């Protein structure tokens, strides 16, 4: 069943936040929670507003991809934020959200979830969750929308996704309650967001590193029309991925698509 007013109250009763989730906007079905959150932001909605949908008809992934958003089984929501950072550093907010998301998921998953740069959460090398962070600006209003999708209770995926997608239920041999997971993600996001806003991005990077198995792996990174081959070394203090290319040169990337060669 779609989310109810009682569900909203239950979630908010579990929150230990001063900002995120004080206002939750519920929808049965939307095209995209990110698009709706951006519209609310442009209309002046308060920071920390959460747009939560039971399903999406045009869920958005990175680089124009769709996010498979069937009703009932997954989590689909977006958070409106107003960080005092430039649009060029939006990738840092993605990393902040990633740390919050993976730590919340690991409170419920018996099988460890890990971060894949820059915006995915994997279990057993398959995507279980993703983040889409978008900047918006118009008139007197600007900010960032953090969209989060989690595969919770799917028992199967379309054929074209079966080799890359999984769900918490499939990995943990049983369905999970969605409301406690929503509350946990919001609580973690608020905690990491204030760490970021207090200027302690270094601790975010440290936690990101601790929750990823990326480093030391041979990768292919695609950025636009360019392709790079090398070994993932670390995230630098700005949150860029440092790769040692096959030429021996080290390069820093703040965006791109990576594929493991191992």
Would you call 104 helix, strand, or coil by DSSP?
helix
Looking at the chain, the whole-number percentage of residues with pLDDT higher than 90 is 80
The pLDDT of residue 67? 52
The pLDDT of residue 90? 87
114/186 Cα distance (integer angstroms): 18
Comparing CA positions, the residue from 191, 185, 217 lying closest to residue 204 is 191
Q: Which tokens go with 48? A: 């920390």
The pLDDT of residue 63? 45
241/25 Cα distance (integer angstroms): 35
Is the model's pTM score more than 0.85? yes
Please, which pLDDT band fits residue 58 given cuts at 50, 70 and 90?
Answer: low
The pLDDT of residue 99? 98
Domains of the chain (ranges plus CATH)? Answer: 5-210 (3.30.930.10), 218-260 (2.30.30.100)
The pLDDT of residue 64? 46
The pLDDT of residue 69? 58
Comparing CA positions, the residue from 186, 227, 173, 217 lying closest to residue 97 is 186
Q: Is pLDDT larger for residue 87 or for residue 219?
A: 219
pLDDT, tens digit (0-9, with 9 covering 90-100), for 120-160: 999 999 999 999 999 999 888 889 999 999 999 999 888 88
Mean pLDDT value across residues 182-199: 97
Please, which pLDDT band fits residue 161 given cuts at 50, 70 and 90?
Answer: confident
pLDDT for 87 beyond 60: yes
DSSP per residue, 129-182? EEEEEEEEEETTEEEEEEEEEEE-S-S---GGGTTTB--HHHHHTS---HHHHH
Please, which pLDDT band fits residue 114 given cuts at 50, 70 and 90?
Answer: very high
Mean pLDDT value across residues 156-179: 92
pLDDT for 44 beyond 90: yes
DSSP state for residue 43 in the 8-state scheme: T
How buried is residue 147: exposed, middle or buried, by Cβ count under 10 Å (0-12/13-18/19+)? buried
């Amino acid at each position: 069943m779609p989310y109810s007013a009682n569900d909203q109250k239950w979630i908010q009763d579990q929150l230990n936040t001063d900002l995120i989730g004080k206002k939750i906007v519920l929808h049965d079905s939307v095209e995209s929670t990110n698009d709706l959150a951006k519209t609310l932001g442009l209309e002046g909605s308060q920071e920390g507003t959460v747009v939560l949908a039971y399903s999406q008809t045009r869920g958005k992934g990175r680089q124009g991809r769709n996010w498979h958003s069937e009703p009932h089984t997954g989590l689909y929501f977006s958070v409106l934020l107003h960080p005092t950072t430039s649009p060029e550093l939006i990738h840092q907010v993605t990393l902040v959200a990633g740390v919050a998301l993976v730590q919340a998921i690991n409170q419920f998953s018996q099988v460890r979830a890990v971060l894949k740069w820059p915006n995915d959460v994997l279990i057993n090398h398959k995507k279980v969750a993703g983040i889409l962070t978008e900047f918006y600006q118009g008139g007197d209003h600007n900010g960032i929308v953090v969209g989060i999708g989690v595969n919770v209770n799917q028992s199967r995926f379309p054929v074209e996704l079966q080799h890359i997608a999984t769900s918490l239920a499939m990995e943990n041999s049983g369905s999970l309650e969605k409301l406690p997971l929503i509350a946990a993600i919001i609580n973690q996001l608020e905690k990491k967001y204030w760490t970021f806003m207090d200027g302690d991005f270094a601790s975010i990077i440290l936690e990101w590193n601790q929750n990823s198995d990326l480093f030391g792996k041979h990768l292919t990174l695609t950025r636009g029309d360019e392709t790079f081959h090398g070994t993932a070394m670390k995230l630098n203090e700005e949150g860029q991925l440092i790769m040692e290319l096959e030429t021996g040169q080290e390069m820093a990337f703040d965006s791109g698509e990576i594929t493991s060669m191992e």
